[in-house]
Structure 1
Amino acid sequence: MSRSILSLILSCLLVGACAPTHRWLSRTPASAANDQMMLVRNDPNSFGYQRLMLKTQEFPDLKIFVEDTGLPDYFAETSSGDRQYLIFYYLKQRQAFACRAKSPHSNAVEFSGPYSITDREYRLLSQAKSDAAAKRQADAA
């Protein structure tokens, strides 16, 4: 997957970084995650974190990847035909990785990357992460 494709996916998927309410989350987690850019935060658990944990149960190799690489800052899910694609963004390293399900009914995945995150992607994702943190602080006050 080329850098321009990752940029296109990022542009299409960056919708928001705030976690949805638990009632909404419980109704449609899979459809809510499709074609979305999700902030991954484990304290408190964000929607992206919850989806990533579900995916690590579905794909054992993904669990190993996350254990080795660490939690990404952002996670995106999308599909094309019968294939699932997962994209992981690590802001500190300015890198992204792609993961693709090998076949529709298999729990095997392929990884590619790292890919460099562009300056524009970095600024956009960093700002969204900062905005989410500020909103969380304001809501707590």
Structure 2
Amino acid sequence: MQTRLKLASLLLLAATFAHAQQPSFQGTWTGQAVSGTGSQVRVVLTIAGNGGKLRLSPSVNYVTTDQCHDRDIPVVVEAQTESELTFAIQGEKVLHGCINESATLKVVDAKTLKGTLKDGRSMTLVRK
């Protein structure tokens, strides 16, 4: 009986330790990115499990006819480590011509991610 209890305790401790090592990018992040035209766009990224959504909107005082703005664009988490998040933006699933890119963001501090899209455009997000 004691051996079973010790084994169960060790397994629980190992599971807790493994879970603690997993980064938590879950939740909502807001910030800025550079659009395909070079202008700044506001970004809201929500990660839930291995997926989520990205919402783009024009910066204040910027008028655009971009039909991809103000739509929920699906994202898929491709990889995550303690210090980095990589996700695919699947805009084509929403509307033909919307952004289809991957982004790799690195942890700057407990509330900030900074990185680039695959094509080199920058993105900075802060946990909401």
Normalised to the residue count of structure 2, the TM-score between the two structures is 0.32
Greater per-residue helix proportion? 1
Larger Rg: 2
**TM-score, normalised relative to structure 1:** 0.30
